Chains A and B, each alone.
Chain A
């Protein structure tokens, strides 16, 4: 039954050695150049931890303070490094604590491998201590998962896990290894996986469809691009920029596409979606050709599908065939890595510009600027706004930092106003909207891009979901900058309560602790800013610091994020106030 016989492995010298299953796991990780893992020990994974101890010079294990933190750290690492993130956990509660991070990685296409210990194989199904069916639990949220009960399966399965996690549309893989398989001795020989017969991660470009796509582009008078994370995952940033510049087509991003094209690029027209910019949302319903690149038409992007871009032809560049025609019907689809399709398109199109069409964007930008942006960035009221806080971070990082955000108002504001000069700089939980993501993800983001400045922007609510990772930051001395935009509210929910539930603020007000004292308790340098005049210098000191730094910015409590497309409304019904 072993289906892994149907995978192709690289040829290798036949130099097998006799080692334990646990040591084999370490050697597999090293063979895949995974020399940094996040995790938390426990009974069923102790043999692997014992080997980690022996291999500590070659493989760095970061002890997080909760297994969820290990998954988000692995995700953050994957997002800035482009490599596979790895998280380890014990059986039972250790394994179930991974589930949120796995679900997050699945919906945001993040390459991650989770390795869980499992009770010994003879105990499977006996409700043994800390036995849980993590294969059953994780099935709907993994790209692939597998339970290993014999040491001899480890090399092939680990090779397959890495191949699956990183190829095609990336995603999380969970490997559950029984304790007896970790102890068992066997002849180890590692060969990388290069193909699986039931899995076609790289569909080739269909040249007929390419011709049809070219025709659509050539005929368009008001074309519009919406791009997503597929551009980053496909390592297609160069090809994308070349396509945008040659075609002259205005382009807007989904939240996960952010940073693939510099934010100050003249054809970068902002964000689409619920809290996106006014012009790209409204003009989605005015363009005559919508070119969707590496994105999946999430409902937070489209609003009501029945009134979404109905006037436009749709050209969809997407690697995952299951995403094509899922939410929005494509007139033409190029199902391949957009690195390939964009290159082919750019070669064949002629240089073009759309000055009149771009003026439509400019005109709407003026309106958004008047009604929203001015008030966010240059407020007249005394309270500090989230917008000016982000602008202050821009002033010091100049768009070169990695910005990691949590979920809520601060996330939307940070993504709207943060400047980015280079790709892989925006790390956020998009599809799942996981509060508690940012602090541990920032740890991984910094370790994945150690020379870069990493600033985590977090709400007072989400911060307290994984606040214990301050311990990891302290122990590992990860030089992340932590900014809490404290409004003493679960702000985004409060905003909805204000707008749609007649201001009934049910359980959204928070009585918060002294965050500065908490950070200091972890020996992390910490400051609080309450007045506008102190903001500039405090942010300056934070960015100048070479150590982990915590900055609490007390912001206006009841500000709202606009523009906003209410749930289920049309992109045309975007509200500015």
Chain B
């Protein structure tokens, strides 16, 4: 079976140790993660992990089953890129002198729809949100000018389909 990029979304209790438990599932199977991020979700006190992996369809299914089996996981889903809206965020730190001396740089920023976050006498910071190819292109374009720092966040994504976590939690409330 052919490998594909999948976004795994995990809704969970915010529990010390759950991060370890979830990463142990990948470790045990010798699977590399493309990216991993966590945050609050739309529901108070419910957390959301977004994990990106490149893997075959049968394997992603089994992994999601294992994740969902963890006591503190409320629900886990997996989706293909077509089923999600996703973005990454990147920061680029460049020497300020370039901004004024190299005309080219201003054109690059403009063309890439990046925003300038801050400017100081020594450096300035550009921010770009978008697909991997877009943040990557900007990195390539800026690197001739000597990037002082570059960092890209893990993927964050929302699904086109409904998640139904509140329904799950309500069912528990009503049954107990």
Contact = CB atoms under 8 A, between A and B. Distances in A.
Interface stretch (B30-38, B66-74, B96-104, B106-114): B66-74
A517 interface: no
A569 interface: no
Contact of B176 (A8, A135, A147): A8
Contact of B172 (A136, A144, A197, A325): A197
Interface string A140-173: 1001111100000000000000001000000000
A276 B74 CA distance: 40
B15 to A, nearest CB: 5
Contacts of A195: 172, 175-176
Interface string A165-205: 00000000000000000000000000000111111000000
Contacts of A126: none
Given A8-B176, A140-B28, A197-B169, A3 B72 contact: yes
Nearest to B69: A322
A139 interface: yes
A321 interface: yes
A395 interface: no
A331 interface: no
A140 B62 CA distance: 16
Interface stretch (B17-25, B79-87, B130-138, B153-161): B17-25
A481 B65 CA distance: 43
A16 interface: no
Contact of A325 (B13, B28, B61): B61
Contact of B13 (A6, A145, A320): A6
B69 to A, nearest CB: 5
A320 B65 CA distance: 9
B69 A320 contact: yes
A56 interface: no
A197 B174 CA distance: 11
Contacts, number: 57
A3 B169 contact: no
B12 interface: yes
Kindly state the interface size class of chain A when it binds its partner.
20 to 34
B89 interface: no
A135 B17 contact: yes
Given A198-B71, A322-B68, A3 B24 contact: no
A1 interface: yes
A326 interface: yes
Contacts of B175: 195
Nearest to B12: A198
A436 B172 CA distance: 43
B65 A326 contact: yes
Interface in A351-380: none
A198 B73 contact: yes
B77 to A, nearest CB: 14
B5 interface: no
B54 interface: no
Contacts of B1: none
A150 B173 CA distance: 28
Given A198-B74, A199-B71, A136 B12 contact: no
A3 B172 contact: no
B6 to A, nearest CB: 17
Nearest to A140: B24
A444 to B, nearest CB: 25
Interface in A308-322: 320-322
Interface in A1-19: 1, 3, 6, 8
A298 to B, nearest CB: 15
Interface of B: 12-17, 20-21, 24, 27-28, 61-62, 65-66, 68-69, 71-74, 169, 172-173, 175-176
30 contacts: A3-B15, A3-B72, A135-B17, A139-B24, A140-B21, A140-B27, A140-B28, A144-B71, A144-B72, A145-B17, A146-B17, A147-B16, A194-B176, A196-B71, A197-B74, A197-B169, A197-B172, A197-B173, A198-B12, A198-B72, A199-B71, A321-B68, A322-B62, A322-B65, A322-B66, A322-B68, A325-B61, A325-B62, A326-B62, A326-B65
Given A144-B72, A194-B176, 14 more contacts: A1-B14, A1-B16, A3-B15, A3-B72, A8-B176, A135-B20, A139-B17, A140-B21, A143-B71, A195-B172, A195-B176, A321-B68, A321-B69, A325-B61
